[in-house]
């Protein structure tokens, strides 16, 4: 008699669609995809995706949990909404893509060293310190994350843009020392704490 199959070792999970419907914003609409491919043809990044939205939806219904949550495809979405506008069934594709990315991040399954993911985390960390985006520090992080030499090259290639931002007051060299903050700092911290509580409560909900 064969040994019982280890469910965690299966290449797919038959209940993954229900998991997405439960955990991902807009996930209940995945099953409505008719696989027409309009979203893939409308996406400006279509040629660079590992999996197009319609393919991801098919993979979700096929139960390919690890493959879906481990891909960087969701992180490629630029929120242009071309897919949403052209979808014949008006699926909230952009919402679902961001929801999948957020869920993968929450589970620790998001791909490491993915540029969009890394920038998203850096942007949030930059914002949550003062309630405002410190453009100077964020720009320095983008340019110099690959090292000093690479950073100098990038900064030099973008010097005209940088000078334009300096003239417009969008880049202030003094912000390297901290920058300006929102007036209601306690209100900001309360808002972020509440958001964290909602996420924790959602993660702790019993699964079906």
CA distance 190 to 199: 14
With contact defined as beta carbons under 8 Å apart, do 25 and 91 qualify? no
pTM of this prediction?
A: 0.72
pLDDT in tens, 19-46: 999 999 999 999 999 999 999 999 988 8
Structure tokens at 30: 């995945």
Name residues of the chain where pLDDT drops below 50: 1-9
pLDDT at 135: 84
Asked whether residue 163 falls in the same domain as residue 196, the answer is yes
Structural domain contains residue 1 = no
Q: What is the DSSP letter of 2?
A: P
Say yes or no: 124 and 57 in one domain: no
pLDDT at residue 9, as a whole number: 39
CATH assignment at residue 93: 1.10.1060.10
Residue 75 lies in a domain: yes
Question: Two tokens at 38?
Answer: 């309009």
Last residue of a domain, one of 86, 107, 128: 107
Cβ proximity of 27 and 96 under 8 Å? yes
**CA–CA gap between residue 110 and residue 69 (Å, rounded):** 6
Question: In this structure, are 86 and 175 located in the same domain?
Answer: no
């Amino acid at each position: 008699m064969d040994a019982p199959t280890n469910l965690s070792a299966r290449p797919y999970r038959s209940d993954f669609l229900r998991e997405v419907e439960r955990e991902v914003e807009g996930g209940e609409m995945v099953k409505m995809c008719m696989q027409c491919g309009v979203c893939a043809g409308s996406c400006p990044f279509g040629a660079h995706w590992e999996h197009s939205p319609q393919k991801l939806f098919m993979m979700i219904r096929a139960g390919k949990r690890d493959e879906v949550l481990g891909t960087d495809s969701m992180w490629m979405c630029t929120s242009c909404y071309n897919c949403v506008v052209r979808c014949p069934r008006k699926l909230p594709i952009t919402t679902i893509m961001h929801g999948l990315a957020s869920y993968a991040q929450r589970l620790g399954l998001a791909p490491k060293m993915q540029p969009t993911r890394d920038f998203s985390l850096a942007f949030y960390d930059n914002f949550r310190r003062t309630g405002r985006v410190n453009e100077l520090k964020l720009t320095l992080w983008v340019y110099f994350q690959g090292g000093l030499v690479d950073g100098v090259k990038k900064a030099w290639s973008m010097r005209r843009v940088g000078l334009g931002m300096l003239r417009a007051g969008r880049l202030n060299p003094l912000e390297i020392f901290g920058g300006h903050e929102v007036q209601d700092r306690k209100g900001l911290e309360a808002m972020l704490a509440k958001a964290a509580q909602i996420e924790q409560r959602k993660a702790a909900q019993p699964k079906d």
